[in-house]
Amino acid sequence: METNAILSQITDESHLPVSEQSLLFRLKRRAEIRRQIKDRKSVQENAPDRIADLLEEAAVTIYNQNHMHKLNAIKIYYDGLREGVTKYAHWKDGAQYVGTCGQSLKQALEEIDNLEAYSLQLHQNNGQQGALA
- Write the pLDDT tens digit of every residue in 64-73: 999 999 999 9
Strands (E), the chain: 90-92, 95-98, 103-104
Sign of the Cα pseudo-torsion (51, 55, 56, 60, in order): positive
Residue 133 lies in a domain: no
Burial 41-53 (b: 16+ CB within 10 A, else e): eeeeeeeebeebe
Please give the pLDDT value at position 34.
92
- State pLDDT tens for residues 34-91: 988 888 888 888 888 999 999 999 999 999 999 999 999 999 999 999 999 999 999 9
Residue 92's DSSP bridge partners are 95
Residue 8 lies in a domain: yes
Whole-prediction pTM value?
0.73
CA 54 – CA 64 distance, rounded (Å) = 15
Residues 6 or more apart whose CB falls under 8 angstroms from that of 37 comprise: 43
**56, 28 contact by CB (below 8 A):** yes
Tally of domains in the chain: 1
Share of the chain above pLDDT 70, in %: 94
Residue 90's DSSP bridge partners are 97
**52, 36 contact by CB (below 8 A):** no
Where in the sequence is the domain holding 77, given as residue range(s)? 3-128
Please give the pLDDT value at position 53.
93
